[in-house]
Amino acid sequence: MATEKVRGKHPVEDLLYDRLVDAIIDKHLRPGQHLNEVKLAERFDVPRSRVRRVLERLRDEDVVVFELNRGAFVSRPTTKEAHNVFETRRHLEDLVVRLACERATPEDIALLRENLRDEREAFAAMRSDVNRVAANFHFAIARISGNGVLEKMVAQLIRRCVLVQSVYEKKSGILCLSEEHGSLIDCIEKNDPEGAAHLMAHHFDHIISSLDLTEARRAEIDSFEFI
């Protein structure tokens, strides 16, 4: 595999972090998969110590776990964690979307609609980044909420939800439906917080109903081929 140059104007650790998170959202990296520090250092042409710092950051966000003498692995959430993550995210996004209704500017609405167009194209073309584009809607409204604390918490929960979906989704498919995102944008634009919160609750019902939150489903992950 070609070495990927990640030096430049951006801090190298942030770039490596973003690449790993994107790979998890795109499902190129799966729950339970080993993250080899030496190979990552070679592939991204960065010192191993920096790879370690990025993996520790992901560990602190519960996206990666370290196992004694075995190294780092992509986290494989339990059913209990899965419930907790979705319960928390659902309540926080209720608040996010209410604040977004109050605070969205016309530029914010334009960006949401642009992302929606990209999302529809990604669906239609079955692009490999479709999950990431769909997640961008949720990252965007968290930013529009104008509350940096909330934005950071929601962003972390979105990453953990992706892991939950990787383990527990009933069949591979798209869980964030673009028409629901479109209706949410309409509510945000109209400054209709009650309507938006109602739609967001429905959106989460929809997402959770697409999961099989059982230990049996989690055990199937053991049979995955890891590199």
Residue numbers at the binding site for Zn ion (CB under 5 A)? 176
Nearest distance from C-beta of residue 174 to Zn ion, angstroms: 10
Nearest distance from C-beta of residue 97 to Zn ion, angstroms: 11
What does each C-alpha distance from 133 to 16, 145, 193, 223 come to in angstroms?
19, 19, 24, 29
CB nearer to Zn ion: give 69 or 172. Answer: 172
For residues 181 and 196, is the Cβ–Cβ distance under 8 A?
no
Nearest distance from C-beta of residue 137 to Zn ion, angstroms: 6
CB nearer to Zn ion: give 40 or 158. Answer: 158
Nearest distance from C-beta of residue 134 to Zn ion, angstroms: 6
CB nearer to Zn ion: give 33 or 119. Answer: 119
Helices (H), ranges, 104-177 = 106-124, 130-144, 148-168
CB nearer to Zn ion: give 64 or 176. Answer: 176
CB nearer to Zn ion: give 74 or 176. Answer: 176
CB nearer to Zn ion: give 22 or 42. Answer: 22
Q: Which of 213, 115, 99 is nearest to 161 (CA)?
A: 213
Beta bridge partners of 72: 35, 66
Give how far the C-alpha of residue 156 lies from the chain's centroid of Cα atoms, to the nearest Å.
8
d(CA 50, CA 19): 14
For residues 221 and 167, is the Cβ–Cβ distance under 8 A?
yes
Pairing of strands 34-35, 71-74: antiparallel
Nearest distance from C-beta of residue 79 to Zn ion, angstroms: 22
Beta bridge partners of 120: none
Nearest distance from C-beta of residue 141 to Zn ion, angstroms: 9
**SS3 for 167?**
helix
Closest residue to bound Zn ion by CB: 176
